[in-house]
Homo-oligomer: A and B are copies of this chain.
């Protein structure tokens, strides 16, 4: 089991880190009665409202089905509103939703950054940012190798 190249080691460290940091983030957001996934969706709505479900799904890398369910939960909690508009549903925040996201945003963004800021130097962070930008873009365009 020494097939592990620098690439595969990076991959598993990144996977472990994201699950770990997601868990901590969820724990952190409990004080605002939100989950990481909900925070992510709400902040997109706040930025782009009014927006349709499919556009929203695209922005957070989720299928339409997943988005449909997420929005049902958020609507049940009274954080968002959906209006039927021609054949589209337009999504926007309720007052309650706006208050929650505004309350949570500063500390949550700060918490997210702290994972990097506490472990890296200024230059390392810049390099990491550039690398992630490239990798993320590449992965969006990547296609499966043939079987």
Q: How many copies does the complex hold?
A: 2
Choice from B23, B106, B144 contacting A28 with Cβ under 8 Å: B144
Docked-complex contact A117 and B16, CB < 8 angstroms:
no
Docked-complex contact B129 and A6, CB < 8 angstroms:
yes
Take A115-B142, A131-B124, A144-B28 as given contacts and tell me if A136 and B7 are in contact as well, using a CB distance cutoff of 8 Å: no
Q: Which residues of B contact A99 (CB under 8 A)?
A: none
Docked-complex contact A139 and B115, CB < 8 angstroms:
yes
Complex CA–CA separation, A53 to B115 (angstroms)? 29
A21 to chain B, nearest CB (A): 5
Q: Which residues of B contact A85 (CB under 8 A)?
A: none
Choice from B7, B13, B14, B147 contacting A31 with Cβ under 8 Å: B147
Chain A interfacial residues counted at CB < 8 A: 65
Choice from B13, B28, B138 contacting A115 with Cβ under 8 Å: B138
Q: Which A residues from 90 to 147 make CB contacts under 8 A with B?
A: 105-106, 109, 111-120, 124-140, 142, 144-145, 147
- Pairs A–B under 8 Å by Cβ, sample size 25: A1-B43, A3-B105, A3-B106, A3-B109, A5-B113, A6-B113, A6-B126, A7-B112, A7-B115, A7-B117, A8-B112, A10-B116, A10-B129, A11-B115, A14-B18, A17-B136, A20-B139, A28-B144, A28-B145, A111-B145, A115-B135, A116-B135, A118-B142, A119-B135, A128-B128
